[in-house]
């Protein structure tokens, strides 16, 4: 039986190509499971998983919880807003208190980059990073690549452009790592103020003209502008951003090929993409959400099999 080369999923940076292939092959099986009339398997029946979210989340939290329940795991949900963290408790104390209740795995989202790595060095449970600040969001990148593979047959050799707020996006960084690892060609596109310096060192190209980027790509992954992470103004107005970097149906129809449109959500309709693009045949946004459950089931299953 193949197994992952890691004991935690902290970031795509720590995975190799074989790990990604194994996760996808396992997710293929679980995708078939969640489309049956009986959607549950007893695989993780004796495993307890704590979902610890220090930041707001809808899709990711629901997706993880559903994945855990489909695998028959016992699930504990923890929200920082109603916890002792508000009273000054440290992250390690919070998690150790939860682990003392015999929890095997922790799925954590945290506003500080590296929180998952720090935790993995101090506690015995298996850690899954559900997003750490503007650093990484590994399961989102895995489900994005899985969705491209499902739609186009293979990720290797495909041209993928990531459009929008690259600077504040954990999805962008994880996607760049995952796509490059699988042999895709990657460009980023957005206002220069929202493109990190030296991003070319990751093996990607920068394109500031959206039209050229769309003509080049097979897949466009549209990111929202993360206003909640901005302490200064990075562009004059939302209207101007939309004129320069928003995708509408007219623009898609004028291309000489059909490209695939993706979005990690939540969508700001009318800003980065219009409603007729989000709901079009070229969009695989809802497939991404469905695939998210299968991919997270695969990750949890593979990590659980390494728990001693």
User: One fold for both 8-136+289-305 and 138-284?
Assistant: yes
Residue-level pLDDT at 101: 86
pLDDT tens-digit series, residues 280-304: 999 999 999 999 999 999 999 999 9
Of 22-31, 51-60, 143-152, the poorest mean pLDDT is in 51-60
Asked if 194 and 165 touch (Cβ cutoff 8 Å), the reply is yes
Q: Which residues are annotated as a binding site for carbamoyl phosphate?
A: 59-60, 109, 137, 140, 265-266
Cα dihedral sign, 50-65-296-259: negative
Residue 102 CB neighbour total at 10 angstroms: 9
pLDDT tens-digit series, residues 54-102: 888 888 999 999 999 999 999 999 877 666 666 677 888 888 888 888 8
Give mean pLDDT, residues 212-235.
Answer: 82
CATH number of the 138-284 domain:
3.40.50.1370
User: The tokens of 27 are what?
Assistant: 């997710």
Q: Rounded to whole angstroms, how far apart are CA atoms 121 and 123?
A: 6
Give me the residue spans of the domains in the chain: 8-136+289-305, 138-284
Q: Which residues are annotated as a binding site for L-aspartate?
A: 87, 170, 224
Q: Which residues are annotated as a binding site?
A: 59-60, 87, 109, 137, 140, 170, 224, 265-266
Q: Which CATH architecture has domain 8-136+289-305?
A: 3-Layer(aba) Sandwich (3.40)
């Amino acid at each position: 039986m193949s197994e992952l080369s890691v004991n935690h999923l902290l970031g795509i940076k720590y995975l190799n190509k074989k790990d990604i292939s194994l996760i996808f092959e396992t997710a293929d099986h679980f995708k078939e499971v969640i489309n049956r009339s009986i959607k549950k398997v007893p695989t993780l029946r004796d495993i307890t998983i704590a979902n610890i979210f220090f930041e707001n989340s809808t899709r990711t939290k629901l997706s993880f919880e559903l994945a855990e329940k489909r695998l028959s795991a016992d699930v504990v949900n923890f929200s920082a807003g109603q916890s002792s963290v508000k009273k000054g408790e440290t992250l390690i104390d919070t998690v150790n208190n939860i682990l003392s209740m015999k929890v095997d795995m922790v799925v954590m989202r945290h506003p500080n980059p590296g929180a998952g790595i720090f935790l993995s060095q101090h506690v015995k449970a298996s850690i899954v990073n559900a997003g750490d600040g503007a650093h990484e969001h590994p399961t989102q990148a895995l489900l994005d690549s899985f969705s491209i593979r499902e739609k186009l047959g293979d990720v290797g050799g495909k041209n993928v452009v990531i459009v929008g707020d690259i600077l504040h996006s954990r999805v962008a960084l994880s996607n760049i790592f995952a796509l490059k690892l699988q042999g895709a060609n990657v460009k980023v596109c957005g206002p220069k103020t929202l493109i990190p310096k030296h991003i070319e060192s990751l093996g990607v190209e920068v394109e500031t003209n959206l039209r050229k980027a769309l003509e080049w790509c097979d897949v466009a992954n549209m990111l929202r502008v993360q206003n909640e992470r901005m302490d200064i103004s990075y562009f004059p107005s939302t209207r101007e951003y939309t004129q320069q970097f928003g995708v509408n149906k007219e623009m898609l129809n004028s291309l000489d090929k059909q490209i695939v449109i993706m979005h990690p959500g939540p969508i700001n309709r009318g800003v980065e993409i219009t409603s007729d693009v989000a709901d079009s045949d070229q969009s695989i946004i809802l497939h991404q959400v469905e695939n998210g459950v299968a991919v997270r089931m695969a990750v949890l299953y593979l990590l659980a099999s390494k728990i001693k």
